[in-house]
Amino acid sequence: MTKFILRRLLWMILVMFVVSVITFGLMRAVPGGPFSREKPLPQATLDALNAKYRLDEPLIVQYLVYMGDIVVPRIGPQTVPSADEDYLIEFQLPAIFGENQSFKWVNFGPTYSARGRSVNDIFRENMPVSAQLGVAAFLVAVSIGIPLGVAAALNRNKWQDFGAMGVSIIGVSVPVIISAPVLQYLVGVQWRILPVTGWGTLNHLILPAFTLGFASSALIARLMRASLLQVMNEDYIRTARAKGVAESGVITFHALKNGLLPVVTVLGPLFAALVTGTFVVETVFGVPGIGRYFVTAVQGRDYPVVMGTILLYAGVLVISNLLVDVVYAWLDPRIRFD
C-alpha cells in the first residue's frame, strides 16, 4: 500500500510539472503582453514594468523563478505580505532555528491587473466562496444521484426506473449554461422564492448549488444504476441470497458496497471541478468565486493569475484523484497489486 501511494505521489508530481510547463508555454506563446494597451504605454514605462516583473529575462529563467517561489520553502524573518512576497503558508519557527525565523512556502506572485495585490490575495478572497458553493453542489449531486440510481436499479423496468432515468437524461441534456438562466428565471424572477443574484446568505447559496449539483447528479445516477445492475448479477449476490441473508441485507452489505466502487472514481474529478469554481454559474448568479478570474486573466494576459488558477485546479484534481485511488485500492485489494 505504501509503495502504491508513493508511486501515485510521484506520478502526481510529474503531472503537476507537465501541467505547469504546458500552461507556461502556451501562455507565453500568445502574442501581446500583460501591459499591451489600446493606447501603447511609453517604451520607458513598459521597460520598467517588464523589468519589475522580470518579464525581460529568458523564459526558462522566468519559469524557474516563478516555480521556485511556489515550490521551494523559505526560512527567514517574517515578511509583511506585499504583492511580490505573500506566502500562502507562513508560520513562526521555534527558537532552535534562530531568532525570529519563519517558515514561508507557496508564493504565487503578484497579479498584473491590480496594483499591490497578490495572486494569493485573490485566492484567499474568492477561493472560499467557490469552495462553499462547490461543496454544497457536491452534496446535492451525491444526495440526489445515488438514491436515484439505486432506486432505478432495484426497480428495473418499473416506473421508478423510467422516472429516475427520465430525470437523469434531462440532467445530462441540460448543461448549467441552460439550467442556470432558466432556474434563475423560474425561481428568482417568476416565483420570487429565492434571490436572483448575489452571495452571502444561505438563500443565495441554494439556487447555484442546486443548478451545479443537479447536472452532476444525473451522471452519478446513471453510473450508480449501471454498476448496481451489474453487481446484482454477480455470483456472490446469489451466494448471499442462498445462505439466507434478507434482501435488505444483500442490498446494503453486498450489492451497494461493491456497486459504489465505479461511482467513487468519478466523484474525485467531479469534486475538483465543482470546488474550483465554474464560470457559468458564478457569472449568471453573480457569485464572487474564482472561476470568473481565470477567464478575465487569460484575456488580460495576467500570467501569474492564469498559472496560479491552473496549478490550483490541477492540484485539487490530482489530489482528489489520489484520494480516490487510495480509497479504491483500500476497497478493492486487487488493484494494489497492479
Partner 1 sequence: MTTVNKSLPSPVVKLENHVKGESLWQDSWKRLRRNRAALLGVAIILIAVLMALFASVIAPHPYDRQTLTATNATPYWVTRIFTSMIPQGEPGGYVRISDQYLFGADSLGRDLFTRIIYGAQVSLLVAFIGPLVSIIVGFIVGLISGYVGGRVDNFLMRIVDLMYAFPTILLIILMLAFFRAGFGDLEPGSFGYIIGQLDRQTGGMLFIFFGIGLTSWMGMARLVRAQVLSVREKEYIEAARSMGTRTQGIMLRHIIPNIVGPLIVAETLTIPTYISYEAFLSFIGLGVQPPRPSWGAMIAEGAQRITSYPSQAVFPALALFLVMFAFNFLGDGLRDALDPRMRGVD
Distance (Å, whole) CA 219 – CA 263: 9
CB-wise, 209 or 310, nearer to partner 1?
A: 310
Compute φ and ψ for 24, nearest 5 degrees: -60, -45
CB-wise, 32 or 94, nearer to partner 1?
A: 32
Closest distance of CB 284 from partner 1, Å: 5
Closest distance of CB 55 from partner 1, Å: 17
Binding site for partner 1 (CB under 8 A): 14-15, 18-19, 22-23, 26-27, 29-32, 156-157, 169-170, 172-175, 177-178, 180-182, 184-185, 188-190, 196, 222-223, 225-226, 229-230, 273, 276, 279-280, 283-284, 294-295, 298-299, 306, 309-310, 313-314, 317-318, 321
CB-wise, 153 or 209, nearer to partner 1?
A: 153
Compute φ and ψ for 43, nearest 5 degrees: -55, -40
CB-wise, 180 or 287, nearer to partner 1?
A: 180
Give the list of residues 6+ apart from residue 67 with CB closer than 8 angstroms, or none. 20
Closest distance of CB 238 from partner 1, Å: 18
Closest distance of CB 19 from partner 1, Å: 6
Longest distance between any two alpha carbons in the chain, whole Å: 85
List the alpha helices (DSSP H) in the chain.
Answer: 2-29, 43-52, 59-71, 119-154, 159-173, 176-183, 202-232, 235-242, 247-249, 257-275, 279-284, 291-299, 303-331
CB-wise, 110 or 268, nearer to partner 1?
A: 268
CB-wise, 18 or 193, nearer to partner 1?
A: 18
Closest distance of CB 147 from partner 1, Å: 17
Amino acid at 295: V
CB-wise, 39 or 243, nearer to partner 1?
A: 39
Cell (9 digits) for 271: 469534486
Closest distance of CB 182 from partner 1, Å: 6
Cell (9 digits) for 216: 452532476
Closest distance of CB 212 from partner 1, Å: 14
The set of long-range contacts for 265-271, using a CB threshold of 8 Å and a minimum separation of 24, is 265/324, 265/328, 266/219, 266/220, 266/223, 267/142, 267/220, 267/324, 268/317, 268/320, 268/321, 268/323, 268/324, 269/317, 269/320, 269/321, 270/138, 270/141, 270/216, 270/219, 270/220, 271/134, 271/138, 271/320
Closest distance of CB 66 from partner 1, Å: 16
CB-wise, 136 or 317, nearer to partner 1?
A: 317
Are the C-beta atoms of residues 282 and 289 closer than 8 Å to each other? yes
